[in-house]
Structure 1
Amino acid sequence: MHHPVTRRALIASAAQLAAGAALAQSHPAQVLLGAAAAPLPPATPQPRALIIDTDPGQDDAIALLMALAAPDRLEVRGLTVSVGNLPLTVTEKNTRIVRDWAGRPDVPVYAGYPRPLVREPIFAADVHGKTGMDGPVLHEPRAPLMPIPAVTWLIETLRAAEPGSITLAGLGPLTNIAAALNMAPEIKPAIREIVVLGGSWGVGGNITPAATFNFYADPEAASVVFRSGVPVTAVAHDAARRVLVTPERIAPIRQLGNQAGRVVADILDNAMEYAVRRRGVAVGPMYDPCAIAYLLRPEIFKGVRVPVDIETRGEFTTGATVVDFRGYTRRKPNALWISEVDIEAFYALLQSQLARLP
């Protein structure tokens, strides 16, 4: 039987397409500039020693589950917690809850700075809810924090490490990583790469018209990291906003049937409710998991090495990433700027990682 399409359905469909297009508009650098993104080589088979700095946060929780599900590829030495999406008292508790969900009590958790380097903190409870991980039922963490402050542990760990042996992943504001670099610059040779989730060039900000949340929350810290001389990979919102969540993407995750699948589906269902309140349609971006996906399967991304700076003084542009595709500044490239991702490969990776968990 033929079912006529109602005007309301047409309007809703058009709105969803428009919202998706606005979130995932194509990166214009390849059209306008010579520095075009290129496919990245696959990861080496050896496990990568990794420290994750995080501020859970719904998408942080999903990213942590992806990472903790891959002990054969990511040797997670520890989780350091930053202030960011919520106050530190919330983010450190949430980090320990996610560790429980992953069944990884062996991974230590360290609490970091309770505020940005020089600014007052800002939070995103309107997005992530008052718990920071609204959606699933939260329990009391089963294990305590480590007694050492995160920055102290970072410095001690990197001082003792072999050159180029440890990767840092910054999923939140970069306060802890920047503080460690400022306090002990001698740790830099031990760092193989700092992978950060943040920045945008072609798609605008998600907290101001110019800035993405992680860099806006502590622009001075982001500037320290990008100017450190350590190799930086920026998984930009240009890529992450292409990985759109919809109810159709959530259903197979819930159908995994394990606790991790249910938790992530509950988180994403809550994110869809926020998207409807915020944009009127059930569609939204997937941010932090893209940074972990890069560590697991870099070949599903495209990027280019360019000079990148962080604006710290702008009246309207504080926290914005200034990406010099055309070489105006005559500076050497200091970052691998990732702007594209294979969406189907990302979701296949997400599901395969979650399937490995309890």
Structure 2
Amino acid sequence: MGAQHRIILDTDIGSDVDDALALALIFGSPEAELLGVTTVYGDTLLRARLAKRFGKLSGRDIAVYQGIASPKSGREVWWPGHEGSLHEGLPQEIIESEDAVAYLVREVANHPGEIDVMAIGPLTNIAAALEADPAFERNLRHLWIMGGAFGTGETEHNFRSDDQAARTVFASSLNITVTGLEVTRQVEMRRDQLELIAAAGPLGEALDADIRQWWAFWNEEWNVPHDPITVLTLLRPELFEVSTPGTVAITCDGDSAGLSTFTPDPEGRVRCVTTIDAQAVANEISTRIVKAGRLLHDVETP
């Protein structure tokens, strides 16, 4: 049986470790066909090379496209500085020559109604694709977003980093499911899960090192797997409940820039994830990432 979902992952991989975890989860999901990866926000060439490297660690030669570095909002990029530092020889990784926005527009136009985009970073590339081709919003099957913090009064990193792009995306007629912080924070990754992942071949070892680096950066020994949770809203929808249709407004001024507000509207095309089976989701994340890491390991071990 072939893959049920054709996915493009749009990511700011390399800062928060959860982007790498989301990519690994897709590798361990036989029902998902990863068509390509597009990178966004900051040093998108480094991010692209890092995504390519994670593909190789799992035995896959994935197509990776460098996206837009500077937010549409003009806000300064948040850059911790550790991105890719544990991965030697990244400049040797060869990525696609086509830029990410052109790829998104072309691939979606070539397969109208068939492709899901998983956007787990700032929405700069997605907004640019909408502006580059008016047909993009009707050609894309569905957009799955990690972003926002609905009903909390907080601003979340992805929307805050490019509030203008987020406003453009939510003003479109795209079919959108969005997973906010109020949902993702119900799941934590701790040492027991990390031990499982670390034992799963070269991919697991690399993820283990990156997770420990991220923990050290925050002086913590746990993290929230925001992005893998968002991927599972597509792959395992029965583990989640979503709202009725509505619209999302994005504040673009002052200290509240990036604030997201959901308003129910039967004519709306946005649904927010509202409820999560936290334990089942946590187990699914570990199981799929371990599976991705062991696929290559099992092939290479006689």
TM-score strictly above 0.5? yes
Go from structure 1 to structure 2 and tell me whether the alpha carbon gap of 1:47 and 1:141 turns closer, same or farther (over 3 Å shift). farther
Runs of 4+ in 1 over 4 A off after TM superposition: 136-139
Partner of 1:54: 11
Alignment pair present for 1:94 and 2:43: no
* Equivalent pair of 1:199/1:215 in contact (CA under 8 Å): yes
1:217-256 matches, within 5 Å, as 217-254=161-198, 256=199
Alignment pair present for 1:160 and 2:110: yes
Q: Which has the larger radius of gyration?
A: 1
Amino acid across the alignment from 2:131: N
Q: Distance in 1 between matches of 2:82 and 2:49?
A: 10
Go from structure 1 to structure 2 and tell me whether the alpha carbon gap of 1:173 and 1:95 turns closer, same or farther (over 3 Å shift). same
Q: Distance in 2 between matches of 1:90 and 1:350?
A: 26
* Equivalent pair of 1:275/1:284 in contact (CA under 8 Å): no
Q: Distance in 1 between matches of 2:221 and 2:169?
A: 35
What is the CA deviation profile of residues 76-101 of structure 1, one whole-angstrom value per residue up to 9, with x for unaligned ones? 11111111xx4223222222222222
Deviation at 1:353, TM superposition (A): 1.4
2:124 to 175, 190, 193: 175
Q: Distance in 2 between matches of 1:123 and 1:353?
A: 30
Of 345-354 and 263-272, more deviation after overlay is shown by 263-272
Deviation at 1:222, TM superposition (A): 1.0
Go from structure 1 to structure 2 and tell me whether the alpha carbon gap of 1:221 and 1:294 turns closer, same or farther (over 3 Å shift). same
Alignment pair present for 1:74 and 2:32: yes
Deviation at 1:224, TM superposition (A): 1.5
TM-score w.r.t. the length of structure 1 is 0.75
What is the CA deviation profile of residues 121-179 of structure 1, one whole-angstrom value per residue up to 9, with x for unaligned ones? 32141xxxx23256x544426541111111111112222223x2111110101111110
* Equivalent pair of 1:219/1:319 in contact (CA under 8 Å): yes
Q: Distance in 2 between matches of 1:165 and 1:352?
A: 27
Partner of 2:278: 343
Secondary structure, aligned partner of 2:6: strand
1:1-358 matches, within 5 Å, as 47-57=4-14, 58-70=17-29, 72-83=30-41, 86-105=42-61, 107-125=62-80, 130-133=81-84, 136-140=86-90, 143-162=93-112, 164-204=113-153, 210-254=154-198, 256-276=199-219, 282-324=221-263, 327=264, 332-357=267-292, 358=296
Deviation at 1:306, TM superposition (A): 4.1
Go from structure 1 to structure 2 and tell me whether the alpha carbon gap of 1:131 and 1:97 turns closer, same or farther (over 3 Å shift). farther
Amino acid across the alignment from 2:268: P
Go from structure 1 to structure 2 and tell me whether the alpha carbon gap of 1:322 and 1:202 turns closer, same or farther (over 3 Å shift). closer
Structure 1 unaligned residues grouped into runs of 5+ = 1-43, 205-209
Q: Distance in 1 between matches of 2:218 and 2:50?
A: 22
* Equivalent pair of 1:82/1:114 in contact (CA under 8 Å): yes
Output the aligned Cα RMSD.
2.3
* Equivalent pair of 1:275/1:283 in contact (CA under 8 Å): no
* Equivalent pair of 1:59/1:286 in contact (CA under 8 Å): yes
Q: Distance in 2 between matches of 1:244 and 1:267?
A: 16
Q: Distance in 2 between matches of 1:244 and 1:45?
A: 32
Q: Distance in 2 between matches of 1:295 and 1:243?
A: 17
TM-score w.r.t. the length of structure 2 is 0.87
* Equivalent pair of 1:97/1:139 in contact (CA under 8 Å): no
Q: Distance in 2 between matches of 1:346 and 1:257?
A: 19
What is the CA deviation profile of residues 18-59 of structure 1, one whole-angstrom value per residue up to 9, with x for unaligned ones? xxxxxxxxxxxxxxxxxxxxxxxxxx9852111111111311
Deviation at 1:354, TM superposition (A): 2.0
Q: Distance in 2 between matches of 1:149 and 1:124?
A: 22
Deviation at 1:226, TM superposition (A): 1.2
Q: Distance in 2 between matches of 1:236 and 1:216?
A: 13
Pairs aligned (count) = 291
Secondary structure, aligned partner of 2:253: coil
Of 148-157 and 306-315, more deviation after overlay is shown by 306-315
Structure 2 unaligned residues grouped into runs of 5+ = 297-302
Q: Identity of paired residues, percent? A: 23
Go from structure 1 to structure 2 and tell me whether the alpha carbon gap of 1:133 and 1:350 turns closer, same or farther (over 3 Å shift). farther
